[in-house]
Amino acid sequence: MSYEQDGRGEGSYGGGRGDGRGDGRGDGRGRGRGGYRGGRDDRRDDRRGIPLSALDAATTESSRKLIGAAIEVHKALGPGYDATAYANALKIELADAGVVVKHGHQVDVMYKGKKISETSTDLCIDSRFFVDVLARPGQISTFERLALRAKLKASDLELGLIINFAERRLKDGLVRVVNIEKIQREKGLEFGDDVGEPEHDDGM
């Protein structure tokens, strides 16, 4: 199972449909398979930067369960509903799988040891990673990636996922965001600058 990691440039996994005519045949303009090629190239670059082994094993396993649940929800409902519908369906699917889910999890924003504000994430899975649920046309934006990354840093978590259920193919709406600083600090790993900002990642 594969999904894109945050930081694909503006291509995102939205390359999945390319120029809107992504029918898998290629159009002779370097987009091949519906513009998918660009996303794959970026993904290979980041795989060299962030191996799955750099992430906590339990977090990785929980993320696999989350993605499996999202696939089931998308198969059953398809695109077309609002984000609340998908978030609620995810909660049901995850509860059936024995996964602990918190909805609307609050995150304190701190500055020099003082709380200055708070934000929230749609779902907190097993107290290990965050999920933001979208249901709108268009690519997942750089701002949305950075916003989730900020929540991860504020909560000292490694991993976050953004899922856009509006995509016809769910994998085109899956973006992983990684808290690079936490991984570097705790595991002593060094990554290139290409993954220091919005990161986009490899497959599961």
β-strand pairing of 4-5 with 174-178 = parallel
Q: What is the pLDDT of residue 78?
A: 96
Q: How far is the C-alpha of 133 from the C-alpha of 147, rounded, in Å?
A: 13
- The residues, any chain, with a CB within 8 Å of residue 141's CB and separated by 6 or more, are none
Q: How far is the C-alpha of 147 from the C-alpha of 63, rounded, in Å?
A: 19
- The pTM (predicted TM-score) of the whole model is 0.69
DSSP assignment of 83-132 equals HHHHHHHHHHHHHHTT--EEEEEEEEEEETTEEEEEEEEEEEETTTEEEE
Percent of the chain with pLDDT over 90: 54
Q: What is the pLDDT of residue 19?
A: 43
For residue 138, what is the DSSP state?
S
Q: Are 129 and 157 in contact (CB under 8 A)?
A: yes
* Residue range 4-58, pLDDT digits in tens: 554 333 333 333 343 444 444 444 444 433 333 333 333 333 334 466 667 788 8
- The residues, any chain, with a CB within 8 Å of residue 124's CB and separated by 6 or more, are 101, 102, 105, 130, 131
* Residue range 64-91, pLDDT digits in tens: 999 999 999 999 999 999 999 999 999 9
Mean pLDDT of 89-115: 93
Residue identified by tokens 């990554």 is 191
Mean pLDDT of 92-97: 94
